[in-house]
Amino acid sequence: MNLSSVPLSVQTTCAYCGVGCGVKATPKADGGFEIAGDTAHPANAGRLCVKGSALGDTISLEGRLLYPMVRPQRGSDELRRVSWDDALGQVADKWQAIIDEHGPDAVALYVSGQLLTEDYYVANKLMKGYVGSANIDTNSRLCMSSAVAGYKRAFGEDVVPSSYEDLELADMIVLVGSNAAWCHPILFQRIAKAKEKRPDMKLVVIDPRRTATCELADLHLPVKPGTDVWLFNGLLSYLNQIGAVDPAFIAEHTNGFDAALAQADAECGDIAKVAKTCRVSVEALTEFYEAFAANAKVITGYSMGVNQSSAGTDKANAIINCHLIGGRIGKEGMGPFSITGQPNAMGGREVGGLANMLAAHMDLENAEHRNAVRTFWDSPRMADKGGLKAVDLFRAIEEGKVKAVWVMATNPVVSLPDADQVRRALAKCELVVSSDIIERTDTNAFADVLLPALGWGEKDGTVTNSERRISRQRAFLPAPGEARADWLIISQFAQRLGYTGFEFSSAYDVFDEHARLSAWRNDEADLPRKFNLAGLAGQGTQAYDAMAPVQWPLLAGEREGAKRIFADGLFSHPDRKARFIPTAPRLPANLPEEDFPLTLNTGRVRDQWHTMTRTGRSAKLADHIPESFIDMHPQDALIYGVREGELARLTSKWGAMVARVQHGGGIARGSVFVPIHWNNQTSSDARVGALVNPVVDPVSGEPEFKHTPVRIEQFRVNWHAFVLSRTELDLESVAHWTRIQGKAFARYEMAGRQNIDDFTAWARELLGVTDPDADWLEYADKSERMYRAVHVVNDRIEQCVFLSPRLDLPARGWLAGLFAEEQLSDLDRAGLLIGRPMKKGVDAGPTVCSCFGVGRNTICSAIRDKDLKTVPEVTACVKAGGNCGSCVPELKKILIETRAEISAEMPA
Q: Rule CB under 6 A: is residue 19 a binding residue for ligand SF4? A: yes
Does the protein bind ligand MGD through residue 606 (CB under 6 A)? yes
Q: Does 17 bind ligand SF4 (CB under 6 A)?
A: yes
- CB nearer to ligand MGD: pick between 299 and 860: 299
Residue with the closest Cβ to ligand SF4? Answer: 52
The type of residue at 313 is T
Element housing 390 (H / E): helix 390-398
Task: Please give the angle made by the CA atoms of 378, 381 and 386, to the nearest 5 degrees.
Answer: 115
Helix (H, G, I), strand (E, B) or coil at 407: strand
Pick the closest to residue 136 from 104, 97, 94 (CA basis). 104
Of 177 and 341, CB closest to Mo ion: 341
Contact indicator for 119, 490 with CB cutoff of 8 Å:
yes
How many residues bind ligand SF4 (CB under 6 A)? The answer is 14
Task: Please state, in angstroms and rounded to a whole number, the distance separating the CA atoms of residues 719 and 120.
Answer: 49
Residue 266 CA neighbour count, 13 Å, CB half? 11
Q: Which of residues 96-135 bind Mo ion (CB under 5 A)?
A: none
DSSP character at residue 67: S
User: Strand order in 461-464's β-sheet?
Assistant: 461-464, 469-473, 550-551
> Rounded to the nearest 5°, which phi and psi values hold at 147?
-65, -40
Q: Which stretch binds ligand MGD (CB under 6 A): 36-44, 384-392, 452-460, 864-872?
A: 452-460
Q: Which range of residues in 47-55, 331-339, 537-545, 730-738 is near ligand SF4 by CB under 6 A? A: 47-55
DSSP 3-state of 119: helix
Which of 68, 104, 156, 208 lies at the binding interface for ligand MGD (CB under 6 A)?
A: 208
* Contact with ligand MGD (CB under 6 A) among 203, 438, 657, 818: 438
231 makes contact with ligand SF4 (CB under 6 A): no
Strands 254-255 and 362-363: unpaired
Q: Decide which of Mo ion, ligand MGD, ligand SF4, none touches 14; Cβ closer than 5 to 8 Å per partner kind.
A: ligand SF4
Closer Cβ to ligand SF4, 49 or 382, answer by number? 49
Burial grade of 426 (CB within 10 A; 0-12, 13-18, 19 or more):
buried
Q: Any contact of residue 179 with ligand MGD (CB under 6 A)?
A: yes
- Contacting residue, 48, 485, 849, 860, with ligand SF4 by CB under 6 A: 48
**β strands within 66-223, DSSP E:** 69-70, 80-81, 107-111, 136-138, 172-176, 202-206, 219-221
Per partner kind, with CB cut-offs from 5 to 8 A, the member of ligand SF4, ligand MGD, Mo ion, none near residue 44 is ligand SF4
Interaction of residue 703 with Mo ion, rule CB under 5 A: no
Q: Which is nearer to Mo ion, 344 or 551 (CB)?
A: 344
Nearer CB in complex with ligand MGD: 522/693: 693
Would you say the C-alpha torsion 759, 762, 766, 767 has a positive or negative sign? positive
Least distance between ligand SF4 and beta carbon 435 (Å) = 23
Query: For 536, which DSSP code?
Result: G
395 HSE (CA, 13 A, CB side): 10
Nearer to ligand MGD by Cβ, of 391 and 803: the residue is 391
In the list ligand SF4, ligand MGD, Mo ion, none, the entry touching 603 (Cβ below 5 to 8 angstroms by class) is: ligand MGD
Single residue of 118, 158, 207, 314 touching ligand MGD by CB under 6 A = 207
CB of 457 to ligand MGD, least distance (A): 10
- Residue whose CB is less far from ligand SF4, 415 or 615: 615
Which phi and psi (to 5°) does residue 807 adopt?
-90, 15
CA-wise closest residue to 311 among 691, 668, 590, 113: 590
**480 near ligand MGD, judged by CB under 6 A:** no
747, containing H or E segment: strand 746-752
The secondary structure of the chain in percent helix, strand, coil, rounded to multiples of 5, reads 35, 20, 45
Interface region with Mo ion, contact rule CB under 5 A, candidates 333-341, 614-622, 680-688, 849-857: 333-341
Per residue, what are the HEC states of 186-230?
HHHHHHHHHHHHCCCCEEEEECCCCCHHHHHCCEEECCCCCCHHH
801 strand-pairing partners: 723, 789
Is residue 141 a contact point for ligand MGD (CB under 6 A)? Answer: no
**183 contacts which partner out of ligand SF4, ligand MGD, Mo ion, none, CB within 5 to 8 A by kind?**
ligand MGD
Contact status: 662 vs ligand SF4 (CB under 6 A):
no
Pick 238 or 302: Cβ nearer ligand MGD: 302
Nearer to ligand SF4, 21 or 205 (CB): 21
3-class DSSP assignment, residue 311: coil
Phi, psi of 149 (to 5 degrees): -65, -35
Q: Which is nearer to ligand MGD, 222 or 335 (CB)?
A: 222
**Cβ 60 vs Cβ 617: under 8 Å:** yes
Cβ–Cβ < 8 Å for 546, 460: no
List 143, 325, 621, 674, residue binding Mo ion (CB under 5 A): 143
Shortest distance (Å) from residue 223 CB to ligand SF4? 26
Q: Does 602 bind ligand MGD (CB under 6 A)?
A: yes
| Site residues (vs ligand MGD, CB under 6 A) | 17, 51, 112, 114, 139, 142-143, 176-180, 182-183, 206-209, 211, 223, 225-226, 228, 303-305, 308, 341-342, 408-412, 414-415, 435-438, 441, 453, 455, 459, 486, 601-604, 606, 608-611, 613, 676, 688-689, 692, 705-706
| Site residues (vs ligand SF4, CB under 6 A) | 14, 16-17, 19-21, 44, 48-49, 51-52, 184-186
| Site residues (vs Mo ion, CB under 5 A) | 143, 341
